[in-house]
A and B are shown apart, each in its own frame.
Chain A
Amino acid sequence: MAALVLPAGVLVLLLLVAPMLLLFRISLNEFSPTQMMVEATTAANYFRAVQDPYYRQVLVTTLAVATGSTLLTLGLGFPTAYWLARMQGRWKSFATIVVMFPLLVGNVVRAAGWLALLGNGGAINAALLGLGVNAAPLPLLYNTGAVVAGIVAVVLPYMILTLSAVIEGIPRQAEEAASNLGASPLTVFRRVVLPLALPGVIAGSVLVFVLCMNTYASAVLLGGPQFKMMAPAVYDQFVRGNNWPFGAALAFILLGFTLVLTVVGSAVLGRCYRR
């Protein structure tokens, strides 16, 4: 058994952990405009990232967008997941495919779709102008709303599939028993469905939150040049600024926040209903 698992384990370790270690080492180096990267052991890059108001703003934006998108995804995903989980017969596989469909389209292609929908010459504005509702195109693109919409559309399938797998495990009769005992549909949801679906809520939210924190395509394409989130900022440092150490430090700050928030968040959520 061990002999079978070992090669795969080593490979995974090499592929996943080695780049991270390398990146961490880089984040401790110094940057010089002439020599690019200078070997060193300093936390200066980290200090700069948290002290610079610009990067602080980028971090706050990222956290706000990720949290908002996660909550919105949960709100939209739960009813859909419930509906999907309780569906029966051949429509169920059809509905599952429909839910998974967005996953078949790459992020960039999807963002392009949003551009075609929300842009100044996009479908919505064309319709509004054509109908004479508006005189000038509405600024639908390049704002937080457009980014959140783009992100939610990307991550929704993950949430729905995670939740519906858990909801399917909740016996239908437990809900019926609750309503038989006098619980209104809302109370059945609050007292029976939600607590029993909690593992799914936590798993789905963690998964989605991590995806949101690392948003790149939606932020760049739908947020426009003024809109900054962490992942594009990291990319800028590596590619445009050639400042690898600072980019690496930003990447680890992003990683750290994501890790701490998911751990703390799921612990708090779990505590609320802990049995």
Chain B
Amino acid sequence: MGSLVLDALGKRYGASTAVERVDLDVGQGEMVALLGPSGCGKTTTLRMVAGFVPPSAGRVLIGGKDVTRTPPHARDTGMVFQSYALFPHMTVAENVAFGLEMRRVSRAERETRVREALRLVRLDALEDRLPRQLSGGQQQRVALARALVVNPAVFLLDEPLSNLDAKLRGEVRMEIRALQQRLGLTTLIVTHDQEEALTMADRLVVMERGRVRQVGTAEDLYERPADPFVAGFVGRCNLIEGRLEAQGQFRASSGALLPCAASPAPPGSCILALRPENVSITAGTDGAGRLKMITYLGPQTEYHLDLAGTPLLAIRQTPSADDPLRRLSPGDAVTISWDASAARLLPAAQPETGV
């Protein structure tokens, strides 16, 4: 059993459901990211773990202990809020010391640990400042230090980087990950930025409309998505509707017959998922492919294609200057191909949310 367990956790607000049912098992020292579109219930789930939102169904277990009815202050969680939520009337050092004070840590030990925590987030020179005298990134690090210093059983982060500029975001992302690994903290992080989730977390939970769609490593989700939602949400993906006619033979709804991976799925209505980087094109016609648009992105180039009535996106490394592909222009006929094993079949009909 993991050190944080969510057992069939759900939350309803009147008639609307914020979180339908979340089952999750986070191991000791593991970092799990909750990922999903806006309004899918990530924050609500996190706040149920912290105890700010009483669940309407299910249980929360921390270290094997059922804390579903335990008030927030008696749960051993350390939370970093999106808005940082520093105490505006306390100095940096006082902010960081607050949790230790609540735990009745002696003054001497408190001072040592506060200094240590501030050194960890590289803020040791600013301990006497007030939060309003700090930059956003510095406030962010105070919030981190304040939550880390008490060495919580569960570390919770709600979009901790969303108020930072792009450059700082990259740095702090690395810092958080390094600290989390060094201290071996069991961590749940909420984000709607998939790059953030992919780079920081050991495992990801993709949520949609209050439900968990898939749990797995970045590799699992990218290479073996369980359904079209996950395939489309994590990275970019061509999702083509149609039906499986025979093993390896997919008939798109536009009529084109496309090669696909051998699949145990029974013939019938389904969706073909094909990553754009797996689509290759060559100059010269086979009669079916046509180039509609080219977007040059430096190291990569995007090709918007049409394959016998089916729109398709290909992303390739930008070809060298003497490559014939470089001379293609919109409207040209091209030959489109892919490795059949790269085209995965996914169930078409998504189970509707709501029981």
Contact = CB atoms under 8 A, between A and B. Distances in A.
Contact of A182 (B83, B87, B88, B102): B102
A273 B85 contact: no
Contacts of B89: 195-196, 273, 275
B102 A176 contact: no
B115 to A, nearest CB: 18
Nearest to B72: A179
B102 A174 contact: no
B88 A177 contact: no
B102 A177 contact: no
Interface stretch (B74-82, B244-252, B306-314): B74-82
B150 interface: yes
Chain B interface size range: 20 to 34
B103 interface: yes
Nearest to B81: A173
Contacts of A256: none
Q: Which of A179, A181, A183, A195 has the most chain B CB within a 10 Å cutoff? A: A181
Interface string B309-350: 000000000000000000000000000000000000000000
Interface string B133-154: 0000000000000110010000
Contact of A178 (B77, B87, B150): B87
Nearest to A172: B85
Contacts of A176: 50, 52, 72, 79, 81, 85
Interface residues of A, number: 21
Interface string B64-99: 000000011110011101010111111000000011
A58 to B, nearest CB: 41
A35 interface: no
A202 to B, nearest CB: 14
Contact of A174 (B78, B88, B150): B88
B87 A174 contact: yes
Given A187-B102, A275-B130, A177 B85 contact: yes
Given A273-B89, A275-B130, A181 B150 contact: yes
Nearest to B104: A182
A173 B85 contact: yes
Interface of A is mostly: helix
Interface string B33-72: 0000000000000000010100000000000000000011
Contacts of B103: 182
A192 interface: yes
Which of B72, B74, B77, B147: most chain A CB closer than 10 A? B72
Interface in B265-279: none
Nearest to B102: A182
Nearest to A170: B88
A226 interface: no
A178 B98 contact: yes
A130 interface: no
A182 B73 contact: yes
A103 B98 CA distance: 42
Given A187-B102, A196-B88, A180 B83 contact: no
A170 to B, nearest CB: 9
Interface of A: 171, 173-174, 176-185, 187-188, 191-192, 195-196, 273, 275
7 closest A-B pairs by CB? A182-B102, A181-B99, A173-B85, A177-B85, A179-B73, A179-B72, A180-B79
Interface of B: 50, 52, 71-74, 77-79, 81, 83, 85-90, 98-99, 102-103, 130, 146-147, 150
8 contacts: A177-B146, A182-B73, A182-B103, A183-B102, A184-B73, A188-B73, A191-B98, A275-B90
